[in-house]
Structure 1
Amino acid sequence: MSGVMEHVDVSVPIRTAYDQWTQFEEFPHFMEGVQEVRHLSSTMTHWTVEIAGVRREFDAEITEQLPDERVAWRSTGGTQHAGVVTFHRLDEHTSRVTLQLEFEPHGAVEQVGDTLGVVDRRAKGDLERFKQFIEGRDQATGAWRGKVDRPQP
Structure 2
Amino acid sequence: MLTDEQAQTLLISGQHNYEDILLLDSAYNKITLPKQSITFSVNEAQKRLMLCLLNKISCKREIIQVVWNDNHQRIRDNNYHQLVFQFRALLQRNGLPANLIVTVPYYGLKLNEPLLRELNSCGSAMPEERRKLLPQLLSFARSLF
Question: TM-score band, normalised by the shorter chain?
Answer: under 0.3
Identify, as 1 or 2, the structure richer in strand: 1
TM-score (normalizing by structure 1): 0.25
TM-score (normalizing by structure 2): 0.26
Considering Cα pairs closer than 8 Å and 6+ residues apart, tell me whether 1 or 2 has the greater RCO: 1
Identify, as 1 or 2, the structure richer in helix: 2
